[in-house]
Amino acid sequence: MKQPFSLVLVLAVAAVASVTGQTIDLSRYRLVDLSHSYGPATLYWPTATTKFVLTRDADGPTPGGWFYASNTLSTPEHGGTHLDAPRHFSEKGRTTEQVPLEQLVAPAVVIDVTKEAAANRDYRLTREAVLAFEKANGPIARGSAVLLRTGWSRHWPNAKAYLGDDTPGDASKLSFPSYGVEAARLLVEERGAAALGVDTASIDYGRSTDFQVHRAAAARNVPGFENLTNLDQLPVRGAVVIALPMKIEGGSGGPLRAIALVPR
């Protein structure tokens, strides 16, 4: 039986409360949508051979006199707002359906690097920047979903502005900010982050050719949330992120509907 959204939300928040020891009154929170919609303009990695396709199988009145609509959809796992399962960059990493809910429903910590990214579109978060963030805002607690706010979602869905290049089939000229590997290692190895999220196309910066951040996260079974949006509506601390992907058996990722509960 399909559960009402309100009940699903209550259960999700209850899961966070059990992990963090918080008592959460939903009336004290507003909801923020962190996902881009899927459609013809959805951005994918330049080497993707297909994009999002929605085929309308039925859309109109039936012989019985009622309206009926049904579609078939097709999409690569890694495009739009989506999950990178650890399996994406680790042979022994968890597949999409194996990622624990505790890593998908977690307290959010937002690191704002919009000024740095505006000055340098190839900016990479450094270990020193994370330590400076903690000095100003307190330590990052184990089990947090760390979300890197670059301001890049303002470019969506302009591929040239968002990705740095819009040449089909060529990922060699990409340019956008993200995590640096030493910052990522600090977060996943020393701080025990539940997940790494970002409002760009990858948890590795655009010019990366060896994807060290993906590899460091996957080695610790830490998933990534990519192509997020509306991170400017979240506080540095206090929000709860709920990032639930399509539960694809054996998947290396999948479309992600991410939301945040923000204290009023």
Q: Are strands 240-245 and 253-263 parallel, antiparallel or unpaired?
A: antiparallel
| HSE-CB of 18 using CA atoms within 13 angstroms | 9
Coil, strand, or helix at residue 158?
coil
- Taking a C-beta distance cutoff of 8 angstroms, is the pair 74, 165 a contact? no
DSSP character for 89?
T
Residues 208 and 200: beta-carbon distance below 8 Å:
no
Whole-number Å distance between alpha carbons of 122 and 258: 26
Residue 26 buriedness (CB in 10 A; 0-12 / 13-18 / 19+) = exposed
CB 206 within 8 A of CB 151: no
Beta strands in the chain (DSSP E): 29-33, 53-61, 67-74, 82-84, 105-112, 124-125, 145-149, 178-179, 195-198, 224-226, 240-245, 253-263
- Residue owning tokens 């709860």: 240
- List the catalytic residues: 88
105-112/253-263 β-pairing: unpaired
